Structure 1
Amino acid sequence: MAENFRTFVIGASSGGYRALKKILCDIPTGLNAAFLVVLHSAFNSTNSYASILKKNVDLTVVDAENGMQIEVDTIYFAKPDHHLFISNNKILLSKGPRENLFRPSIDVLFRSAAVAYQNRCIGILLTGRLNDGTNGLDAIQKCGGLTVIENPETAEFSGMPLFAHKTIAIDYVVNPENMAEVIRKIVKEEFPEDKNVPINIVRENDIAMRIKSQISLQDKLGKKVAMSCATYGGPLWKMKNSNPVRYRCHVGHAFTQEALLKSQDASLEEALWVSIRTLEEKKTLLNNMIIEYENKGMKTLAESYNNKIEEVSEHINSIKSALQLND
């Protein structure tokens, strides 16, 4: 691999496969560049996007495997339920904690590529909801690389590229049909100016890759806040110098504010469902006790449990109302 090669890292979510197909089919060989892709998918997905796309793409398309050497003219797709890292020009896969509710996470790939390749790295963020990828683009920019987003006005789902556009100064805003042309343009240009890699980006990348202990680094990276991780339940740290605002727990889960709110909603809903189930079981037990006491002629005691059933029913109805459920 020549010294002047580029690494393009691409992230997409909802609607991403269609955008990727449009872009990758137009990229020619011979650009002295490698391409690594994270496309959000279900953890148990059996789709191999590499096997589907390789029929229509001139470049070599493969599913990323741990330890693979990164080669030019090759597209590497992240495996479902595995983070994709770059280190020493090799691919590393991990089932570490989710970031922004996803594994693989776009931020994880972008951040590791920023540290590994600095001004030889180009981040491309495509269609999707929420805001995974923005912090990764910010890391690429701070390490000297270039940032590209799909035009939010024409993206199938504008959430991810629009959030990035409003958060950082993007270098290129491009429609998918013009993306290959911009890629060819970039590889012909001089490299951007060299920058020192910020130590906080290196440290956070080490945490995600499990090279360094989370507990020993959290205080260096952020300030502990009075909130808990919606996934793990432990304390959260608000990251310093993070764009956008983000939180991490010492286990390694990471969230933007929007992702944390969504995770809290999911945890709260799960807790409410557990409460309903427990109360329904309690109601059944009370009914059985009432029948038993009535059969024994203990009507006063049975009546006292009838009152408790009314209380339990009120609690159940209140929780169902909070969940906006119908009977």
Structure 2
Amino acid sequence: MKGRIFVIGASQGGIEAISALIAQLPADFPAPVFVAQHIAASSLGGLPRILGRAGSLPAAHPRDMEIFERGKVYVAPPDRHMLLQRGYVCLSRGPRENHVRPAIDPLFRSAASAYGAAVVGVILTGHLDDGTAGLMAVKDRGGVAIVQDHAEAVAPSMPRSAHAHVSIDHCCTLSKMGAILVDLASDDVGSQVPAANPLIEVETRIAAGELNLAEWSRFEKLSAPSGFRCPACGSALFEVRDDRMIRFRCRAGHAFSARCLLEEQAQMREKAIAGLYDLLMEEATLASRLLNLSGDDDSGLRTAISDRVSDARRNAALAGQWLAYPQGGQARREQSLAPSRNPSDFDSRR
């Protein structure tokens, strides 16, 4: 297919933003539009219906291996990455990227790989920074980068990140973006595709589910061990060799930006502290019951068990502070959280 390829990515607040943008495109829009909106795997898939009602272009979830057409909007279905090949769409349950599927980066990367300078990448409202690496790939292959003005975005993080890491061609409000897309759709970009980018190619194949030793060997040459572990599967993370943005991927294919990994680490920390808190509560409760029910008159043993209860309660209180106030500050309300002097209190609270 000659002409432009438009790829749009959004997350929080994206349904309204995409609807507003699609509504500005005329019925004779001469290019296909591909949309990746973060949605839950359990979603009923109603976004195509919403977009179809919002504007003049028909919208649908594509079928795997479907040949796409100009003047249609293709929406990534729930729990599938939507990838582009020359002339058709590929749907994949490949590894999650930035903890989501569908993710924006795989769509943008695959479009850049297949269509080079013909691609127009659009980043709209959203949390964190999915889409930034994909938009970098679009620019690396000669395409056009458009970003919503973060001042009007419901969630400005994704537009801010794209603007910070990518050489943006257009940054504007949604009300002005439609006219830009219409103008770009009329461009004659030719059919020349730039030379292949090894990193874009291998990451696109991983997103398509091509997880094998050969692909991983290629990726290893483009990355380095990071010393971090994958929050999704626990395996080692490798850092992509790209000075523009810190990114990671594990052997199972899960990919994370540094910001997304930091968010995942915070959740892992909370889960670990919650498990520690529960373990200490159980230890204090069991030791307290043993202390109350034991007929042993060994004063040394009773003292040891009583100290065990006190230590467990004190440490549980500290873990509880971290759970309730992980950022510190007023969290250090140690007096109000100080343990009772009576070890048997734990037994009555369980």
Pick the TM interval, shorter chain: over 0.9
Cα offsets for 1:49-95 (capped at 9, x unmatched): 11223223211111233232212111111122222112242222222
2:85 pairs with 1:84 = no
Q: Give aligned-pair identity as a percent.
A: 29
Contact between 2:121 and 2:145, CA under 8 Å: does it hold in 1? yes
Conserved in 2, the CA contact under 8 Å of 1:15 and 1:128? Answer: yes
**Match for residue 262 of structure 2?**
261
Report the more deviating stretch, 91-100 or 191-200: 191-200
Q: Matches of residues 131-280 of structure 1 in structure 2 within 5 Å? A: 131-191=129-189, 194-213=193-212, 215-241=216-242, 243-280=244-281
Shift of 1:141: 1.1
Give unmatched runs, 5+ long, in structure 1.
none
Q: Distance in 1 between matches of 2:193 and 2:2?
A: 13
Residue 54 of structure 2 aligns to a residue whose secondary structure is coil
Offset at residue 46 of structure 1 (A): 2.8
Alignment partner, residue 60 of structure 1: 58
Shift of 1:319: 1.1
> Would the aligned equivalents of 1:119 and 1:143 in 2 still touch at CA under 8 Å?
yes
| 2:6–2:34 CA contact under 8 A, matched in 1 | yes
User: Following the alignment from structure 2 to structure 1, what is the Cα–Cα distance between the partners of residues 83 and 318?
Assistant: 46
The separation in 1 between residues aligned to 2:34 and 2:285, in whole angstroms, is: 55
Counterpart-to-counterpart distance in 1, 2:194 and 2:249: 26
> How much is the aligned-residue C-alpha RMSD, in angstroms?
2.0
User: What's the offset of the Cα at 1:212?
Assistant: 4.7
TM-score, normalised to structure 1's length? 0.92
8 Å CA contact 1:34–1:73 kept in 2: the answer is yes
State the partner residue of 1:41.
39
Write the deviation string for residues 274-310 of structure 1: whole angstroms up to 9, x where unpaired: 111122222222223223314x555653332121011
**SS of 1:323 mapped into structure 2:** helix
Q: Is the 8 A contact 1:279 1:316 kept in 2?
A: yes
Aligned AA (1:165) = H
Amino acid at match of 2:321: S
Aligned length: 324
Greater radius of gyration (CA) = 2
Equivalent residues in 2 for 1:300-319 (5 A)?
Answer: 300-319=300-319
CA contact (8 A) 1:130 1:160 kept: yes
CA contact (8 A) 1:48 1:63 kept: no
Q: Which residue of 1 aligns with 2:108?
A: 110
Deviations 1:15-39 (A, max 9, x none): 1111111111111122321111111
Q: Report which stretch shifted further, 259-268 or 281-290.
A: 281-290
Change (3 A) 1:141 1:229: same
**Conserved 8 A contact 1:289-1:302:** no
Aligned to 1:127: 125
Paired letter, 1:129: H
* Distance (Å, rounded) in 2 between the aligned partners of 1:43 and 1:297: 60
Partner AA of 1:252 in structure 2:
G
TM-score, length basis structure 2: 0.86
Aligned mates of 1:283, 1:264 — CA distance in 2: 28
SS in 2 for 1:132: coil
Equivalent position amino acid for 1:63 in 2: H
In the TM superposition, what whole-angstrom CA distance separates every residue of 1:148-204 from its partner, at most 9, and x where no partner exists? 111122222221111111111111112111221111100122317752221221112
Whole-angstrom CA distance in 1 between matches of 2:263 and 2:118 = 34
The partner residue of 1:98 within 96, 99, 110 is 96
- Which residue, 1, 5, 8 being the options, matches 1:7? 5
Distance 1:242 1:4 in 2: 33
CA distance in 2, matches of 1:304, 1:169: 66
Counterpart amino acid of 2:316?
Answer: I
